[in-house]
Structure 1
């Protein structure tokens, strides 16, 4: 694919980095439309967007350094700051952003449940564009497959090519994630329409994404993301179990304590 969209002099602009920016803009637009309909603060939404841009970049980088290539960066720590060379993990972006949002909402004493529902509705938008960045970058690729559907990465600069999977038919896991994001977007809109308590959309997102990503992970072939028990389970799957458990807990708690 195309790991770098364009170059400014000798510095390349990573596709993943660019798509995070697109994801942030698209998600902010959707969030503002929902906020206006819900009577929520547009200023707070813009604050959350700014926080997301910063936290997602830091989180994506930190997870890459710590989980995927610690030895490489320990050998020469200055490499951590070479953002233009790529190296980002979407799960790290998500976790850092979510934690930063919670801190902000608590500090501003805003209704966490209501804003959580908004952020849950825009999460599929973010996931869609971030996974498009993964597709362009050639990372988060799938296992080799003998038949359709498959995708081949022939660009020597792609992550898949660098990890000895160049010109090999692979499961298009990035596209699986993108399709899943589109379906999830409409499912969560349906949940919002019929919700019974604030935070219900957020809980539904955690459960839906927890289950669907857990199964998509079985098709992934990039073992540097962290795999255990001879590849039987990945770091992402462990986190998705926690997501699902958190979603169930939120759903049960919300039904008892919250209301519209």
Structure 2
């Protein structure tokens, strides 16, 4: 979920109320539990964490890794992911605002989280945990990859219902007008590509592929590196249909990060594959 930015050329959609598009409803607010409002994005994130942890335990058990290690790693990854997702947004999307209002960095309920930041933050904290505990890095990374893909697919459904992370205007049948009770969730009430759904499908497809590859892999690390490469390629494609921060030319910040991930991932894939043959 990405918070709307008032300082960027291309803006993300804000959290709204109930969104209506041609009789269908997008529902940023699901229900209330007393003073607590349950949002679909937060609920989808919770489901992603629980399902991801469950699947991670199953995958780890199949290769002899203790479930307690996976639970500990899941906590480390979630903490690192949340911190990374927030800091990426703060420093890349809204640095001027948060410099003036530093306490707002802690206001996670106002939105402003970036998946690539979560991926980077989780990678750092996860690596530190694995190294500190002297655990097999590549084996653990392969266990983590399928849950990451599944979680991404689930959370993007929450983004769709929330009305954030939307696409560029389109007149095709795919167009969605994101509206809420106070107006439009986008800068203008025009049909836009539902890039959240594109991203969700990418996540689910990757999950299926990675689960299959987990049983057929030729070397440790193959599943994780495949995830990094294919996700990054898919993200580059989706970004062509999405409103996002432009860094130069027509390149978005997520496309730039994708390229920076693909290059070392391909190198490691080739090196690990060659070592497996020898």
Q: What is the CA RMSD across the aligned residues, in angstroms?
A: 2.2
User: In 2 relative to 1, CA 157–58 (structure 1 residues): closer, same or farther, beyond 3 Å?
Assistant: farther
Quote the Cα distance in structure 2 between the aligned partners of 1:63 and 1:170. 25
Quote the Cα distance in structure 2 between the aligned partners of 1:53 and 1:18. 15
Paired residue for 1:194, among 213, 216, 219? Answer: 216
Quote the Cα distance in structure 2 between the aligned partners of 1:198 and 1:29. 21
User: In 2 relative to 1, CA 243–139 (structure 1 residues): closer, same or farther, beyond 3 Å?
Assistant: same
User: In 2 relative to 1, CA 25–121 (structure 1 residues): closer, same or farther, beyond 3 Å?
Assistant: same
Q: Which residue of 2 aligns with 1:21?
A: 46
Q: Which residue of 2 aligns with 1:172?
A: 194
Q: What is the DSSP-based 3-state SS (H/G/I as helix, E as strand, rest coil) of the residue aligned with 1:164?
A: coil
Quote the Cα distance in structure 1 between the aligned partners of 2:128 and 2:88. 20
Where in structure 2 are the equivalents of 1:52-201 lying within 5 Å? 52-155=77-180, 161-165=184-188, 167-201=189-223
Q: What is the DSSP-based 3-state SS (H/G/I as helix, E as strand, rest coil) of the residue aligned with 2:96?
A: helix
Shift of 1:63: 1.7
State TM-score, norm by structure 1. Answer: 0.89
Quote the Cα distance in structure 2 between the aligned partners of 1:86 and 1:172. 19
Q: What is the DSSP-based 3-state SS (H/G/I as helix, E as strand, rest coil) of the residue aligned with 1:66?
A: helix
Task: Indicate if the aligned counterparts of 1:19 and 1:132 stay in contact, CA closer than 8 A.
Answer: yes
Quote the Cα distance in structure 2 between the aligned partners of 1:64 and 1:13. 23
Task: Indicate if the aligned counterparts of 1:4 and 1:14 stay in contact, CA closer than 8 A.
Answer: yes
Shift of 1:249: 1.4
Aligned positions, number: 253
Quote the Cα distance in structure 1 between the aligned partners of 2:100 and 2:55. 42
Paired residue for 2:247, among 225, 228, 238? Answer: 228
State TM-score, norm by structure 2. Answer: 0.83
Quote the Cα distance in structure 2 between the aligned partners of 1:162 and 1:69. 19
Shift of 1:258: 4.7
1:70-93, Cα deviation, whole Å (9 max, x unpaired)? 222222222222222222212211
Listed as ranges, the gaps of 5+ residues in structure 2 are 1-25
Higher RCO by CA contacts (8 Å cutoff, separation 6 or greater): 2
Quote the Cα distance in structure 1 between the aligned partners of 2:73 and 2:246. 32
